[in-house]
Amino acid sequence: MYRIITLSLIIFLTIGCGKTESWPEFGGNSANTGSTTNTPPAHLPAEKWSFETDDPINSSPAVVDNVVYIGSDDHRVYALDARDGSLIWRFRAKDVVRSGITVADNTVYFGSRDNNLYALDAHSGRVKWSFEAPGSVGTSPVILNNLIFFGSWGNSFFAVDRNTGNEQWRLETGGPVVGSPAISDGLVFFGSWDKKFYAVEVLTGQIRWTYETGDLIHSSPAVGDGVVYFGSRDNHLYAVSTSSGELIWKYEADNWFDSSPALHGSTVIAGNYDYHVYALDKDTGDEIWKFRGEGPVVSSPVIARNTVYVASWERKIYAIRMDDGSEVWSYRANHQFTSSPAIANGNIFIGSRDKYLYVLE
């Protein structure tokens, strides 16, 4: 049974008045580019507010119409007023929620370790439908037209009607699909723990091509200008043609690329378990700069106003200059970050394993 608490529908409906910036899904868009024209903090940020859940937060937030949505290991998804952190509603699933949140057309989509993908009414948190997969759903879902796409730990990938929850097609893989998909030019892209990266036709579920790496793929891809970029636990970041699946370049670091890349201009940015954030030329894979933090970089970077924002395992959020990789500022929390940041309205939203959602301004 699902449990829901709705505190104030009236407050929720008035929040959306006026034009606000949005971050509706992991990576900011369906191509997972992580690049935005939204307004970041203008200076070294301070905590605007924080909200405590009952367990660590590994989910990545979405921000739409001045409401921030976040999942938690306490089995809940929360809708909070993005301006002051007041609770609007909360929904309880049957297990941990580590999927990033996707919001579209007044519906909140996310997966849970209870094997379900959920669709909730964004105003009330009530269940519109749920879809049971053969394993835990940890990927952040991505939407194209009337379809929503996601993978599961049950060695499978799905396309589901986002209005009804009816399955349109499924693809069996040789391992879990834990990274979030990206969409471009009629194809959905994702990696699997079977070491393969897939390009699949969105309407039919037919495989267009696969590319095999040397180890499992945990990273989510980013797509731009006919190239898809993704990392592997074989310590490489790959650039592959979206049309043919042919390798364009690969870059080797000293450890895993679990962090998902971000794209901006002629540069691809990616974090690594070797404590570094790398800036590479999108066309050649040549290293432009690398920035060393104090711990593994599992969180995925976001780019706004020529600045890279990224969190790391040693409890810091960094702002890094795009042009030379120098540190602009850093902010320390009380625990590690695996959640990836969202940027909107001059704020950074990010969850931490200390149970808190932080909002910095």
Q: Is the pLDDT of residue 182 over 50?
A: yes
Domain membership of residue 226 as a residue range: 3-360
Residue 314: the pLDDT is 83
In the numeric block, which tokens belong to residue 292? 């060393």
From residue 83, give the alpha-carbon distance in Å to each of 15, 51, 318.
9, 12, 22
**Is the CB of residue 122 less than 8 Å from the CB of residue 103?**
yes
Q: What is the mean pLDDT of residues 125-151?
A: 98
Residue 3, pLDDT score? 47
DSSP 294-354: SS---SPPEEETTEEEEE-TTSEEEEEETTT--EEEEEE-SS---SPPEEETTEEEEE-TT
How many folded domains does the chain comprise? 1
Q: What mean pLDDT comes out for the span 328-341?
A: 89
- pLDDT higher than threshold 60 for residue 134: yes
Give residues with Cβ within 8 angstroms of 10, minimum separation 6: none
Contact of 35 with 262, CB cutoff 8 Å: yes
pLDDT of residue 335: 79
Reported as half-sphere exposure (CB side, CA atoms, 13 A), residue 357 has a value of 29
pLDDT of residue 19: 67
Q: pLDDT tens across 82-130, in order? A: 999 999 999 999 999 999 999 999 999 999 999 999 999 999 999 999 9
Average pLDDT on 239-265 reads: 97
Residue type, position 301, single letter: P
pLDDT, one tens digit per residue, over 185-242 is 999 999 999 999 999 999 999 999 999 999 999 999 999 999 999 999 999 999 999 9
- 147-152 and 156-161 as β-strands: parallel, antiparallel, unpaired? antiparallel
Domain of residue 155, CATH code: 2.130.10.10
Per the model's pLDDT, the better-predicted residue between 18 and 180 turns out to be 180
Q: What is the pLDDT of residue 10?
A: 39
Centroid of chain to Cα 191: 14
**With bands split at pLDDT 50, 70 and 90, how would you rate the model's confidence at 42?**
confident
Q: What is the model's pLDDT at position 313?
A: 84
pTM, 2 dp: 0.94
